[in-house]
């Protein structure tokens, strides 16, 4: 690895720069190496080209719900989006709990304002970062100022690499190398279980 050796790895950067694409590339490579990957992802949802919200997805099971939506009312808001607390707990918290118990590697995309607005999910993220499991993740670029204690946990766990338009092609190769390194250190690459192995 070109950066300090670590079983965990985090990406940050401006919106739309390609963080989630690189994150998903790491998951694909980890699975090719035989690792089971659990955790959460938060893909955006667009209707006729307009973003209406974000889903929260259990990486291992595919279960999903709403992380946040526009056009609905509720007490927890980030910009024009309302965080859907029940879905975040029922999908997101459970996904992270299961990942700590059963997965070789845990993925979180992302650790950001919407996710951290729900206390139960923030606590689950802290449990993940405090565990011995390797973690790959996307970190909101404002996390350091928004939540210094949580940012410190991330920084201790593994390097935080900024994705830019200039370096994202280089990082496309680096994240594959990192995934292979994590798989070798974790031992799942030796098992050869494949991407569809039960977790």
- List, in order of start, the domains of the chain with CATH numbers: 9-189 (3.40.50.300)
Which are the contacts of 97, defined by CB distance < 8 A and separation ≥ 6?
A: 124, 127
Q: How far is CA 104 from the centre of its chain?
A: 14
Distance CA 115, CA 106 (A): 16
In the numeric block, which tokens belong to residue 92? 């997101």
Distance CA 40, CA 137 (A): 9
pLDDT in tens, 112-168: 999 999 999 999 999 999 999 999 999 999 999 999 999 999 999 999 999 999 999
pLDDT in tens, 24-43: 999 999 999 999 999 999 99
Rg (CA), the chain: 16
In the numeric block, which tokens belong to residue 160? 């935080």
Q: Give pTM, 2 decimals.
A: 0.91
Give the burial string for 145-181 (b: 16+ CB within 10 Å, else e): eebeebbebbeebbbbbebeeeebeebeebbbebbbb
φ and ψ of 89, to 5 deg: -75, -50
Check whether 1 has a pLDDT greater than 60: no
């Amino acid at each position: 690895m070109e950066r300090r050796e670590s079983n965990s790895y985090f990406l940050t950067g401006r919106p739309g720069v390609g963080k989630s694409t690189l994150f998903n590339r790491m998951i694909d490579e980890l699975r090719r190496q035989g690792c089971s990957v659990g955790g959460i992802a938060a893909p955006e949802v667009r209707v006729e080209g307009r973003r209406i919200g974000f889903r929260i997805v259990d990486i291992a099971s595919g279960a999903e719900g709403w992380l946040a939506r526009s056009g609905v009312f509720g007490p927890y808001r980030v910009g024009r989006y309302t965080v859907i607390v029940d879905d975040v707990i029922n999908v997101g918290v459970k996904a992270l709990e299961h990942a700590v118990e059963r997965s070789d590697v845990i993925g979180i995309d992302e650790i950001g304002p919407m996710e951290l607005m729900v206390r139960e999910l923030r606590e689950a993220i802290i449990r993940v970062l405090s565990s011995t499991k390797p973690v790959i993740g996307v970190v909101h670029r404002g996390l350091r100022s928004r939540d210094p204690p949580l940012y410190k946990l991330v920084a201790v766990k593994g390097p935080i690499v900024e994705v830019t338009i200039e370096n994202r092609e280089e990082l496309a190769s680096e994240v594959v190398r990192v995934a292979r390194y994590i798989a070798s250190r974790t031992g799942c690459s030796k098992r050869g279980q494949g991407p569809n192995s039960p977790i």
